Amino acid sequence: MDEVGKLLDRPKQYYNIDGLGELGCGILSLGYGLFMWLEMHSPATAIWHKISIFILLGLVMVIHYGTKALKTHVTYPRTGFVEYRKDARLRNLIIGGALGGLTSLTLALSVSHHWDISTLLLLFGPVFAIGYGYAIARAVRWKWVIAAAFALTSVVIAFLPTDFLAILANDSPAAHPVRARIGGTMLISLLTYGALFIVSGGISFWHYLRHTEPAALENL
Amino acid sequence: MKSQIRTIADLDRVIHEPGRLMIAALLFAVEQADFLYLLHETGMNKGTLSSHISRLEEAGYVEVTKTYRGKVPQTLLRLTGAGRKAFTQYRRKLKEAL
């Protein structure tokens, strides 16, 4: 990439300069993982099963408005405000929605058709790590450690015994081996990925606060 | 070779200056950004950045809006249609010349 190309890329990397992007992802993953655990370990008639979609939407809203408020009060007064182009935001939304939809569909089909998707799950981590590396670690070198941890985590999870994953998912490995494996894998992946995002985003936020301060009025 | 030299001579001098090229490239990638962001990203001082922005504004490449974020003043900058076109052409010509 030429120097001008690198400059054109800078605003994209600015979004996570304070680590808030990662913190948002971490809170979403960890929060949804904890809620999933609650759902799996509560009786089928429990209220959690009926309100799961509202909990997820609520969590997304809290993260969206929480990030906005923090950016307004912490980031913009320190290192400036950027409004991204609408076409870029729409493109990201479409890509994110398509990937999320495809993942959900694959998981739903594998449970209903009893497919063994262990290899697919094994591949998910390295692919995710590459995506993370491109989007975030490219700009901050030490985050390649986090990218490697994402890849390693998925490999470790892929080799966990089904019995252990079934205990996590509160399912029967004998009656529903695929469902138990997928449920346990999703749960432990959400929790560990969420924790990794929070650690990485937390360090970035702490570092950002330490090395920046609100700009003087004459610089605005 | 002659055509390459001609292409270099044809480069938009308003954008070709490194400081202004930096500003144009940063603004090209976004809808708008404020003065503080450009100050932070370019590493220029306030005076130099202001003079480059004024030059780009004179050429009709950048639109400057003075506003407030709450009670705090904010200077928003965006690349105009002409600015986007000029930057795209500049990049194309530079690639051709090199």
Full-model pTM: 0.84
Q: Order of strands, edge to edge, in the sheet holding B62-69?
A: A82-83, B32-34, B72-79, B62-69
Complex ipTM, two decimals?
0.87
| Residue bearing tokens 């992946």 | A189
B2-97 placed in CATH 1.10.10.10: yes
Q: Is the pLDDT of residue A218 over 70?
A: no
Residue B29: its chain A contacts at CB < 8 A? 7-12, 85
A:62-101 residues touching chain B, CB 8 A cutoff: 72, 76-77, 79-86
In this structure, of A117-121, B69-73, B75-79, B92-96, the range with the lowest mean pLDDT score is: A117-121
Question: Which chain B residues touch A if contact means CB-CB below 8 Å?
Answer: 21-22, 25-26, 28-41, 46, 69, 72-76, 91, 94
Cα separation, A128 vs A124, whole angstroms: 6
Q: A208 vs chain B: nearest CA distance in angstroms? A: 13
Domain ranges of chain B: 2-97
- The residue-averaged pLDDT of A168-174 equals 77
Give Cβ neighbours of residue B74 (< 8 Å, ≥ 6 apart). A81, A220, B34, B35, B66, B67, B68
Check residue A1 and give its pLDDT: 61
The amino acid present at A108, given as its one-letter code, is: A
Quote the mean pLDDT of chain A.
87
Q: Is the pLDDT of residue A65 over 80?
A: yes
Check residue A130 and give its pLDDT: 92
**CA–CA–CA angle A68, A69, A73 (5° rounding):** 120
Residue A82: its chain B contacts at CB < 8 A? 30, 32-34, 37
Q: What are the Cα distances from residue B9, in Å, to A27, A115, B6, B16? A: 54, 64, 5, 11
| Chain pair A-B, CB pairs under 8 angstroms | 80
Q: Is the pLDDT of residue A177 over 90?
A: no
Domain ranges of chain A: 13-85+116-213
Cα separation, A111 vs A181, whole angstroms: 10
Cα separation, A173 vs A167, whole angstroms: 9
Residue B35: its chain A contacts at CB < 8 A? 80, 219-220
Token reading at A194: 């969420």
- The residue-averaged pLDDT of B14-41 equals 94
Token reading at B5: 């030299």
Give Cβ neighbours of residue A196 (< 8 Å, ≥ 6 apart). A26, A146, A149, A150, A153
Q: Do A84 and B33 touch (CB under 8 A)?
A: no
Most confident option among A121-125, B77-81, B93-97 = B77-81
Q: Which residues are paired to B67 by β-bridges? A: B74
Q: Is the pLDDT of residue A105 over 80?
A: yes
Quote the mean pLDDT of chain B.
90
Contact A196, A149 (CB under 8 A): yes
- The residue-averaged pLDDT of A79-85 equals 93
In this structure, of A41-45, A186-190, B84-88, the range with the lowest mean pLDDT score is: A41-45
